[in-house]
Amino acid sequence: MMAWREDDLRNVYLPFLIGEGVGNYFTDPAFLSKLDQSPQDDPEAAVMHWTKVFGNTGLTWDDLAFLREHTNLPILLKGILHPEDAELALKYGVDGIIVSNHGGRQVDGAIAAIDALPLITDTVQGRIPVLMDSGIRRGSDIIKAMALGAKAVLVGRPAMYGLAVDGQRGVKEVLQNLAADLDITLGLIGKNSVNQIDESVIVEAQNLD
Q: What is the pLDDT of residues 76-93, one digit of tens each?
A: 999 999 999 999 999 999
Number of neighbours of residue 196 by Cβ within 10 angstroms: 13
Per-residue pLDDT at 6 exceeds 90: no
Q: Distance between CA 133 and CA 129 in Å, rounded?
A: 13
Q: Which fold has domain 63-207?
A: TIM Barrel (3.20.20)
Q: What is the mean pLDDT of residues 95-123?
A: 89
What is the pTM for the complete model shown?
0.79
Just list the catalytic residues. Answer: 102
Q: Tens of pLDDT along 109-121?
A: 889 999 999 999 9
According to DSSP, the residues that pair with 12 across neighbouring strands are none
Mean pLDDT over 119-127 rounds to 95
pLDDT tens for 155-165 read 999 999 999 99
> Is the predicted pLDDT of residue 150 greater than 80, yes or no?
yes
pLDDT of residue 19: 87
* Annotated domain spans of the chain: 10-53, 63-207
What does pLDDT average to over the chain?
89
pLDDT for residue 108: 75
* Number of residues that make up the chain: 209
pLDDT in tens, 35-67: 999 999 999 999 999 988 887 788 899 999 999
Separation between Cα atoms, residue 180 and residue 66, nearest integer Å: 41
- pLDDT digit string (tens) for 137-148? 999 999 999 999
Q: What pLDDT, on the 0 to 100 scale, is given for residue 207? A: 53
Write the burial class of residue 134 (CB in 10 Å: 0-12 exposed, 13-18 middle, 19+ buried).
buried
pLDDT of residue 55: 76
Mean pLDDT of 191-195: 92
Is the pLDDT at 4 greater than 50? The verdict is no
Distance CA 136, CA 114 (A): 10
